[in-house]
Structure 1
Amino acid sequence: MTDPIRLSKRLIELVGCSRREAELFIEGGWVTVDGQVIDEPQFKVDTQIVELSAQARADAPEPVTLILHKPAQLSLDAALGSITAGTLSEEHSFGKRPLRGHFLRLESSSSLQDDASGLTVFSQDWKILRKLTDDRSKIEQEYVVEVSGDMVDHGLNRLNHGLTYKGKELPAVKASWQNENRLRFAMKNPQPGVIVQLCTAVGLKVVWMRRIRIGGVSMGKLPEGQWRYMTAKEKF
């Protein structure tokens, strides 16, 4: 009986590739052990059947961007820690296989309003992270806000044209009623606490709020606490 060896070493023995190629094949999800995809080069094997996909490419995996429906009570760090293969939305689990490398080196640059839930972006792609940072004043965000209380006269018009709260000028926003107790707000680069201030200024109290869109990327029907991959067709 031989001692178990690293999967990468076994692959080198099988196909005659270099160590780096073996690691890229494995990290890219192209290698199976007894029919199960294993994406860790250091995984130990002995007598199992190791196979390399005929479509395998020794390329570094493309950086991914993940869209999470963050619960309001989770901090950003806790939200990042909640992203695992097990919390991938079942409805969005087709077309891309979660790999261990997809959960490494993720960063976020799209802060939510305080106590809000909703669309949060985590990305490995420096181009997306830079766009969300450099163009934040140009990218529109949309929130759904449940409120209580009675809006002052002409309150919706005041929200859409700008108003003052406690001597502070608040930005004009795109505001509309979704139903009798939910407002939709669309604005660019909302400052911390501004939605609460806007609602208070027109006689309303915020019950909860949820971000549903950043630029051209919408959260859709993603369940709370679950995530999906951002597609190549989506643009912020």
Structure 2
Amino acid sequence: MRINKLLSNHGICSRTYANRLIQEKRIIVNGHLCIQGQWVEEEDIILIDNEPIPVKDKVYIALNKPVGITCTAEKSVESNIISFMNYPEYIFPVGRLDKASQGLILMTNDGDLANKILESENQHEKEYIVTVNKPFDECFIKGMSEGVQICSVITRACKVSKVSADTFRIILTQGLNKQIRRMCGAFGYKVVRLERTRIINIKIEGIDNGEWRHLTEKEVMELRNG
């Protein structure tokens, strides 16, 4: 894999920061200065500032993201999730939850597990509670569940159930950009509140808005086996 991906997967730094280290000639691979985009193997001898890359303990966190926080590892972005958490070690968000939405997002330094969770073909479930700007009928529920044409594709069939006159629960197995908002918009509805409550086996219950907790060993194992 490319050097920046390997460093990210090992929880050392972001891919962007890895590129910066290469530009500053601070990475050596098998005795030679690393170049941008270089492909490496796990067995290669990689030094950063003439020191072997450290072995990092894996970190797995469930965060209840507030509205207004952007899911990016780029600290230059205003109200980014990394600055919000101020965690003492390098971690990154697994996927995204748009700025206007709230709820569960996983944070980790385990690139391999993050990629497994995000792989669309694995069809991992993500559950949301959504409130729209006006009451809906059963035709809306049926249409949403059967698939909606957005961004030149038809969304994958999903589970949708009514919670109240203007609120529904939806379980997706894909993650298109602003998917739920676009799906609702196709039927003439505007989302006024969107909360993610579950990712695979991890639930938001017990985590206050803006707070987070470490995952248990059992939860991490279930994520790996899911």
Matched, 1:82 2:92: no
Structure 1: which amino acid aligns with 2:81?
A
Find 1:187's aligned residue among 172, 190, 193: 172
Q: Which runs of 5+ in 1 are unaligned?
A: 1-59, 85-101
Distance of aligned partners of 1:110 and 1:168 in 2 relative to their CA distance in 1, 3 Å threshold: closer
1:77-129 CA-to-partner distances (Å, cap 9, x unmatched) read 42222225xxxxxxxxxxxxxxxxx7312122221145211111111234422
Residues 136, 72 of structure 1: CA spacing in aligned structure 2 closer, same or farther, 3 A cutoff? Answer: farther
Mapping for residues 138-157 of structure 1, pairs under 5 Å: 138-151=123-136, 154-157=139-142
Q: Can you give the 5+ residue segments of structure 2 that lack an aligned partner in the other structure? A: 1-54, 74-79
Contact between 1:174 and 1:185, CA under 8 Å: does it hold in 2? yes
Q: What is the one-letter code of the residue matched to 2:173?
A: K
1:160 touches 1:174 (CA, 8 Å); kept in 2? yes
Aligned partner of 1:68 among 63, 68, 77: 63
Q: Which has the larger radius of gyration?
A: 1
* Aligned residue type for 1:83: M
- CA separation of 1:70 and 1:222: change in aligned 2, threshold 3 A: same
Name the CA distance, whole Å, in 2 between partners of 1:178 and 1:153. 12
Measure the CA separation in 1 of the matches of 2:96 and 2:82: 13
Mapped contact 1:67–1:228 kept (Cα < 8 A): yes
> SS of the counterpart of 2:85?
coil
CA distance in 1, matches of 2:123, 2:208: 28
Distance 1:228 1:153, change over 3 A: closer
**Local SS of the residue matching 1:142:** strand
In structure 1, C-alpha distance between the alignment counterparts of 2:98 and 2:134, rounded to whole Å: 21
Q: Is 1:131 aligned to residue 116 of structure 2?
A: yes
Counterparts of 1:119 and 1:74, CA distance in 2: 12
- Calculate percent identity across the aligned residue pairs: 22
Q: Structure 2: how far apart are the matches of 1:190 and 1:111?
A: 9
CA distance in 1, matches of 2:120, 2:196: 18
What is the deviation of 1:74? Answer: 1.0
Amino acid at match of 1:70: K
**Distance change >3 Å, CA 195–CA 135, structure 1 → 2:** closer
Taking structure 1 as the reference length, what is the TM-score of the superposition? 0.59
Name the counterpart of 1:158. Answer: 143
In angstroms, what is the RMSD of aligned CA positions? 2.5
Contact 1:150 1:203 in 2 (8 A): no
Moved segments of 4+, more than 4 Å: 165-168
Q: TM-score, normalised by structure 2?
A: 0.62
**Alpha carbons 2:102, 2:194 under 8 Å: kept:** yes
The within-5 A match list for 1:168-183 is: 169-183=154-168
For each residue in 1:106-162, what CA deviation from the matched residue of structure 2 results, as whole angstroms up to 9, or x when unmatched?
A: 122221145211111111234422322345652111111111223256221121222
1:61–1:182 CA distance, 2 compared to 1 (3 A): same
Cα distance in 2 between the residues matched to 1:183 and 1:117: 16
CA distance 1:167–1:131, change in 2 (3 Å): closer
